[in-house]
Amino acid sequence: MTSARRLAASVLAAPALLAGCASTSPDYDSRFSDTTRTLLQQQVADPRAGLRHADRQPAMDGRSVREAGARQLESFRAPPAPQQITLGVSGGSGSGAGQ
C-alpha cells in the first residue's frame, strides 16, 4: 500500500473512530435516576404517615429498646446450642403386619 492510500484510508477512518468518543453524557445526565425516583414514589403510599401519628406515645421506652438490642447482639456473639430433633426413629419394636 502506498503512502497516499494509507493517508486516504486514515482520513476516511478518522471520523468513524472519533464518533466512538462522542459524548452522549448530557442526554443520560438529564435523566439520571428517573427510574429509581419513580419506583420510590410508587412504593411510598403515604409519605406523611409518620407525621400523622407523631403525638402518640412510643410502644417501648428507651431502656427497653436498648436492652432488647443488646440481647439481640449477644445472641449473635454466643448463639444458643441447636436443638437436636430426630424424626422417624423409634426405640420399640414394630407391631408388624405379618405377625
Q: What is the pLDDT of residue 93?
A: 60
Inform me whether the pLDDT recorded for 55 exceeds 90.
Answer: no
Share of the chain above pLDDT 70, in %: 79
Q: What is the pLDDT of residues 75-94, one digit of tens each?
A: 888 877 888 888 876 666 65
Q: What is the pLDDT of residues 11-51, one digit of tens each?
A: 877 777 777 666 666 677 778 888 888 888 888 888 888 78
In this structure, which amino acid lies at residue 67? E
CA atoms within 13 A on the CB side of 51: 3
CA geometry: angle 42, 44, 48, nearest 5 deg: 140
